Amino acid sequence: MPKLDILDLSPADAVHQPDLLWQIFARGVDGVVVRGFLPPLVMDGAAAALERDVRDFPCTGSENEDLDVEQVHVLGMTVTPSRIRGKVPYLERYLQSVAPFETACRRLFPEGDGFLERIERLLRDWSGGRPTGVFIDPGSGRPYTPSTIRVVPPGCEMPLHSGLDFLSLGIYGDLNAVLDPREQLSFFSVIQAPDAGGELVVYHTDFWDPEKPMQDNG
């Protein structure tokens, strides 16, 4: 298995990588860690706000509702739950959830730029002058959302998954007209570090690899 090439950057160094997105696309870089992307006090405040009240956040329903174990909670609506095979009316529900989710996110980061604004600015810094932005639904003119929040209870984990297998879903019809399906760029930021565990495992897995940790619904 080849060694992954991961860049480890400070926030000050991260803004001086003007063509990093192209390097990732061309497989010159496999991943990037930006340490201290948001100050610890800011993240602590966001975590405390989430623990007090999450009722303002639209939520994505569980993908495995028949399981008897506690599962990861998704704040914000994902565009492609695997059990959703059509485009409408789920797309309308998704688009309606974007503004309330972003409003709730801004309350987590009340001072200065929040998480979404910093992510968008960082991607612009890495784009080499190429335009960046959130996809706009052509039918309604409403934006998609660039992120969700995952609450991982003790003993739970995010399962192995790949966003590229969603491209065949009907809800992706408009996106397929503008995106490059060969690559997917994912990002995440830890709001609250766990007491133990919490490792990020990055490794090579292809669609045709036979042994993958999958739930019954795939």
Residue 32 located in a structural domain: yes
Domain hosting 75: range is 6-176
**pLDDT given for residue 213 in this prediction:** 44
Residue 205 located in a structural domain: no
**pLDDT given for residue 14 in this prediction:** 95
Residue 101 located in a structural domain: yes
- Nearest Cα to 20, choosing from 36, 2, 6? 6
- Nearest Cα to 14, choosing from 122, 140, 137, 170? 122
Residue 218 located in a structural domain: no
Residue 186 located in a structural domain: no
For the beta carbon of residue 62, count every other beta carbon within 10 angstroms: 14
Residue 185 located in a structural domain: no
Residue 210 located in a structural domain: no
**pLDDT given for residue 70 in this prediction:** 66
Residue 81 located in a structural domain: yes
Strands of the 73-75 sheet, one edge to the other = 59-60, 73-75, 149-151
**pLDDT given for residue 169 in this prediction:** 76
CA distance 59 to 148: 9
**pLDDT given for residue 214 in this prediction:** 46
pLDDT in tens, the chain (218 residues): 567 889 999 999 999 999 999 999 888 998 899 998 888 888 899 999 888 877 778 777 655 555 555 677 888 888 776 555 556 678 888 899 999 998 888 888 876 667 888 888 899 999 998 888 899 999 999 999 888 898 888 777 776 666 566 777 778 888 888 888 777 788 888 888 888 777 777 666 655 444 544 444 33
Q: How many domains does the chain have?
A: 1
Rg of the chain over CA atoms, in angstroms?
18
